[in-house]
Amino acid sequence: MAGNLKKFVKPRFIKTVDLPLMKALLARHAGKYRSFSVDLLDQEEELARDALHDLLAGSEDSYPEGLRGDLHRIAELGDARGLEVILTQADRQGVDLFPDIKTGDEAAPNKAHDPKHIALRVFLEHPDLFDSAADHMAMLTADRLHEYAGRERGVTIDLTEEKIEAFRTAVAELFRDAFLGDYCRVGDYVDGDEINVVISHGSTVSTMPVVEGQQERVISVRQISHAVLRYSEHTGMLRLARVRKAQQPEIAELFASIILDRPGFFDGDDAQDLYTLRPAELAGPGFAFDAAYDPLIEKVLIIEAAVDLMAPGKNGYPRVVRTLRSRDLGGDALQHFSSTPVSFHGPWRLGELVFRVLFRSEGKRQPQVTVKLRPPSVVQFRRTQHEARVMALIERNGLVNDRDDLELVGAAE
């Protein structure tokens, strides 16, 4: 979400935005303004823009709550990256987006080509396309995924509108009970063997002081958050992003019971025991990634590593009493521990690795992905077209725990 709406509603936007478009947006909330009328935009242009400026340049509390929500959603897609996502989704859906403005520049650049203007027009004229673009933007920016391993691989989804609606209703109740409001929208998208679900919902209410004239007031704002779920039919893995840790098991169970028709599918003892750094510990500071199998990976640099000194706790379980962290952008972060008392054959354990994967490219800028791996369940990186290669690199180097597909084996027998 655009955290600061003023970065979107700038004076030059107010001076150039298409007034009929803004009138259509503001008319969605007619009757809810305190000292503004939508009819003011029917005046002479200069007076209409002055009235629009007085409304939008003031505190957000002067807008109806619904308009605040609309403007925040439009702001999320009102930049160059958002425009790219909009155009991609329009192409996928076969929508010929705004042929009337597909013109070249004449005396000056066409103001209708401004990403903010296009996002506003899509919001008003193609709401389904806008929702799809907003969902895909959320998927692109979800970098920290919490993973749950299903009890078996190869479980496919028979996705129906009824299942999606039942899932939306159950999740909406969960969020409402967590004081996140009652707004909830669910979008589902298929990408090969992977099912993507984006849940748009309200966030925690925040308050902020604003000045109105000579008076200070406090207003309440509830922004929109986007939770992302990704399920692979091939591996049986469910990945969640932007979901509160306390709610992750509940949402995973709702997905299992409603979408998969498999209650308890993600309840296995090893459901979140997914990754290990044991191969790196056994190799010691000299551990290096083997990427020779993939011709597109040029090299892998270990740029940061954290080691924990373990000692028995009061309950008999080991606890961390000290942590050392090494950082070296040249790729020798792990090797630096060879000159310290750290020994992975004793009480020290490797707790986290951060590595950078550099890909071969003919372009001027070399593609790269920085990955944080922290057992037992955290792999964090910016999801790009190289995601599958990054996950294969992790698995090929023995950093993924083996899972016993007991139900699958039993069925085969």
CA distance to 254, 265, 273, 392, per residue, from 262 (Å):
10, 5, 20, 28
pLDDT of res. 403: 65
Question: What is the rounded distance in angstroms from the CA atom of residue 169 to the CA atom of residue 172?
Answer: 5
Reported as a single tens digit per residue, the pLDDT across 263-322 is 999 988 778 888 999 999 999 999 999 999 999 999 999 999 999 988 887 777 788 888
* Average pLDDT of the segment spanning 222-232: 87
Residues 6+ apart with CB under 8 A from 324: 306, 307, 309, 337, 340, 342
Helices 19-27, 115-125: axis angle to 10 degrees equals 50
Angle at 329 between CA 326 and CA 330, to 5 degrees: 105
| Structure tokens that stand for 22 in this block | 């803004």
Tell me the pTM: 0.70
Angle at 68 between CA 63 and CA 70, to 5 degrees: 130
* Average pLDDT of the segment spanning 42-66: 79
Reported as a single tens digit per residue, the pLDDT across 74-88 is 888 888 888 989 999
Verify cis geometry, omega within 30 degrees of 0, for the bond prior to 347: no
Residue 113 has pLDDT above 90, yes or no: no
Residue 413 has pLDDT above 90, yes or no: no
Residue 104 has pLDDT above 90, yes or no: no
CA distance to 282, 304, 328, 343, 365, per residue, from 335 (Å):
13, 10, 10, 12, 28
172, 171, 164, 88: which is closest to 122 by C-alpha?
88
Q: Across the chain, what does the average pLDDT equal?
A: 85
Residues 6+ apart with CB under 8 A from 153: 234, 235, 236, 405, 408
Higher pLDDT residue, 65 or 277?
277
Q: What are phi and psi of 172, to 5 degrees?
A: -60, -40
Reported as a single tens digit per residue, the pLDDT across 126-170 is 999 999 998 988 887 766 778 898 988 889 888 899 999 999 999
Q: What are phi and psi of 102, to 5 degrees?
A: -85, 70
* Average pLDDT of the segment spanning 241-252: 91
Q: Are 123 and 134 in contact (CB under 8 A)?
A: no
CA distance to 42, 81, 280, 333, 380, per residue, from 357 (Å):
56, 23, 17, 15, 13
pLDDT of res. 59: 63
